[in-house]
Amino acid sequence: MGITHLANSFISNISSKEGKLPCSFVIHTEKGESLPIGKEKPVFELYIRNQAGLRAIQSLNQLTIAEAYIIGNIDITGDFTQAMSFAEHIPDANFWIKMWRHIQPWLFGLEKCNSAWIAKHYASADIQLLVLESDYNTYTQCLYEHDDDSLEACTERKLGMVFEALKLKSNAARLDVGCGWGGLLRYSARRGVQVTGITLAENQKVYVDNLIKENDFDAQVMIQDLFSFQPPKKYDSIAAIGVMEHLPDYPKVMTQLSKCIKPGGRVYMDFLASNNLSHPHTFITKYIWPGTHHMVFMPQFIEAIRASPFEIVSIHNDRRNYYLWIEEINRRWELNKAEIVKQSSEELWRIFRILYAGSAVFLGSPAYGLTAYRVVLEYPADLRLH
Do 258 and 331 fall into the same domain?
yes
Last residue of a domain, one of 56, 89, 122: 89
Do 211 and 258 fall into the same domain?
yes
Do 151 and 284 fall into the same domain?
yes
| Residue 385 is assigned to a structural domain of this protein | no
Task: Give the CA distances from residue 370 to residues 57, 333, 338, in Å, rounded to whole numbers and listed in that order.
Answer: 26, 21, 30
| Residue 250 is assigned to a structural domain of this protein | yes
Confidence at residue 14, expressed as pLDDT on a 0 to 100 scale: 62
| Residue 386 is assigned to a structural domain of this protein | no
Do 56 and 127 fall into the same domain?
no
**What is the rounded distance in angstroms from the CA atom of residue 185 to the CA atom of residue 239?**
10
Do 211 and 150 fall into the same domain?
yes
Confidence at residue 2, expressed as pLDDT on a 0 to 100 scale: 65
Q: Which residues is 270 bridged to in the sheet?
A: 241, 374
Last residue of a domain, one of 89, 121, 136: 89
Q: 71 is in which domain, residue-wise?
A: 3-89
At 95, is the pLDDT very low, low, confident or very high (cuts 50, 70, 90)?
low
Do 83 and 117 fall into the same domain?
no
Describe the crossing of helices 110-122 and 95-108 by its angle, rounded to 10 degrees.
Answer: 130
**What is the rounded distance in angstroms from the CA atom of residue 302 to the CA atom of residue 312?**
9
Q: 119 pLDDT exceeds 80?
A: no
Summarize pLDDT for 338-383 with one digit per residue, the tens.
Answer: 999 999 999 999 999 999 999 999 999 887 789 999 999 999 998 7
| Residue 98 is assigned to a structural domain of this protein | no
| Distant-in-sequence contacts of 210-218, Cβ < 8 A, 24+ apart | 211/181, 211/182, 211/185, 211/186, 212/182, 212/185, 215/186, 215/189, 215/190, 217/185, 217/186, 217/189, 217/190, 218/189, 218/192, 218/193, 218/194
Do 122 and 200 fall into the same domain?
yes
Summarize pLDDT for 205-215 with one digit per residue, the tens.
Answer: 999 999 999 99
**What is the rounded distance in angstroms from the CA atom of residue 184 to the CA atom of residue 228?**
23
Confidence at residue 281, expressed as pLDDT on a 0 to 100 scale: 80
Share of the chain above pLDDT 90, in %: 72
Could you give the number of structural domains in the chain? 2
Summarize pLDDT for 165-206 with one digit per residue, the tens.
Answer: 999 999 999 999 999 999 999 999 999 999 999 999 899 999
| Residue 104 is assigned to a structural domain of this protein | no
Do 80 and 216 fall into the same domain?
no
Instruction: Return the closest-CA partner of residue 362 out of 86, 48, 93.
Output: 86
Q: Which residues is 34 bridged to in the sheet?
A: 28
| Residue 97 is assigned to a structural domain of this protein | no
Q: Which residues is 314 bridged to in the sheet?
A: 376
* CATH code for the domain of 18: 3.30.1050
Least confident range of 78-87, 100-109, 325-334: 100-109
Q: What is the average pLDDT across 115-127? A: 61
* CATH code for the domain of 301: 3.40.50.150
3-state DSSP assignment of residue 201: coil
Do 64 and 144 fall into the same domain?
no
Summarize pLDDT for 286-303 with one digit per residue, the tens.
Answer: 888 776 678 999 999 999
Longest CA–CA span in the chain (Å) reads 75
